[in-house]
Structure 1
Amino acid sequence: MLIAVASRDGKEINQHFGHADRFLIFEVDGGEARLVDEKKVERYCTYDASHPQRAHLLQAIADALTGCRAVVCAQIGQGPQTEMERFGVDAFVADGPIKATLVEIAKVL
C-alpha cells in the first residue's frame, strides 16, 4: 500500500500537513517501507483572502496523493483532516522515524 508522509528531512515524520510543499510516497509491504515517489504540492497554510477555506488546495493535494491509502504528518488541523478523509485518504498524526512508523500504521489499515 502507498502512504504519503510530510517530512522536512526524509528520515523523520516532522512536518505539519499545511506546511508541506511535498509529500514523500512510500510503499509499505511485508513489514518494510521504501520510498517510491515524491509529490510536490502548493502549501495548504497560505493566506488567500478570496479563498479563506482553501478547498481548492486540499483538492489539489488529494489529487497529488491519488493512490495513497493514508497521509502521515506531525500535525494536521481538523478541517483538512476531515476533507482528506472525505477524499479517501486517511490522515494520521505521528512522529519518529518514517519507515518504522509506517510499518506500524500499515498494521491498522
Structure 2
Amino acid sequence: MNQLADVNSVAELEVDVNQLIVAFASSDGDIVNQHFGSSSGFHVYGIDGSTATPLAVKSFAKEQRDGNDDKLKPKLAWLAGSDMVYCGSVGGTATNELIKLGVHPVIVKGGPDIEEIITELQQEIAGTMSPLLERIFKQKAGKDQSRFAEMADEGWDE
C-alpha cells in the first residue's frame, strides 16, 4: 500500500504531468458526500488512463454553514495544485476561488462512488477526452508562456 503524503498543499506532491490530480470531498474516502465549504475531508488521487494512485488525505474541523468565507481559505490553500475537485455542492464564492487557482469544481449528486468516478475518468483519459479534460492537460503541459501565446492567437485583450 502506498504511503499517503502529508503535505501542506496538493501543489507539493510530485506527480507526473500526464496524471490528473483529483480531489474528492468525502467523509469516508468511498463516496462523494460532502459540500465543498463544509467538507470534513478531501481524498486526492493521481489518475491516468490505467492507474489511480491515492496521494493524500486531509481532514478539516467541522464547519458551520454560516456563509463565513474564511472557512474556505484552509481548504483552498490545501487544494491548490489539484486539477479537479468533486463535491456534492459548492457555493459561488468557493467556485470563483477554485477557478482562480486552476481547480475545476465538479458537482455530483447522489453520493457516487469515488471508484466509479475514477473509472469514468480513466476511460475518458484513455479514449476521447471532454473539452474540460483536454483544457486541463493542455494547461498542465504548457504552464507559463504557451498560454500567453494562445491568448495572443485568440486576440485576447485585457
Does the pair score TM above 0.5?
yes
The equivalent of 1:28 in structure 2 is 47
1:74-96, CA deviations, whole angstroms, 9 ceiling, x for partnerless residues? 11112211221112111000141
Residue 91 of structure 1 is matched in structure 2 by 105
* Larger CA deviation: 59-68 vs 13-22: 59-68
Identity rate, percent: 26
Please give the root-mean-square deviation of Cα atoms over the aligned residues, in Å. 2.3
In structure 2, give the amino acid aligned to 1:104. E
Go from structure 1 to structure 2 and tell me whether the alpha carbon gap of 1:53 and 1:87 turns closer, same or farther (over 3 Å shift): farther
Larger strand proportion of the pair: 1
The residue number in structure 1 matching 2:29 is 10
Higher RCO (Cα < 8 Å, 6 or more apart): 1
The aligned runs of 1:59-74 (5 Å cut-off) are 59-74=73-88
Shift of residue 44, structure 1, vs aligned partner: 6.0
Gap change, CA 1:57 and 1:19, over 3 Å in 2: closer
Structure 1 segments unaligned to the other structure (5+ residues)? none
Equivalent pairs, count? 104
Larger Rg: 2
Shift of residue 57 of structure 1?
Answer: 3.7
AA of the residue aligned to 1:24: H
Distance 1:9 1:60 in 2: 20
Corresponding residue number in structure 1 for 2:95? 81
Q: CA deviation at 1:5?
A: 0.6
> Do the aligned partners of residues 75 and 31 (structure 1) sit closer, same or farther apart at CA in structure 2, a change above 3 Å counting?
farther
SS at match of 2:77: helix
Counterpart secondary structure, 1:11 = coil
- Which consecutive unaligned segments of at least 5 residues does structure 2 have? 1-19, 125-129, 134-158
Where do 1:39-78 residues align within 5 Å?
39-41=58-60, 45=64, 47=66, 54=69, 56-78=70-92
- Return 37-46 or 88-97, whichever deviates more: 37-46
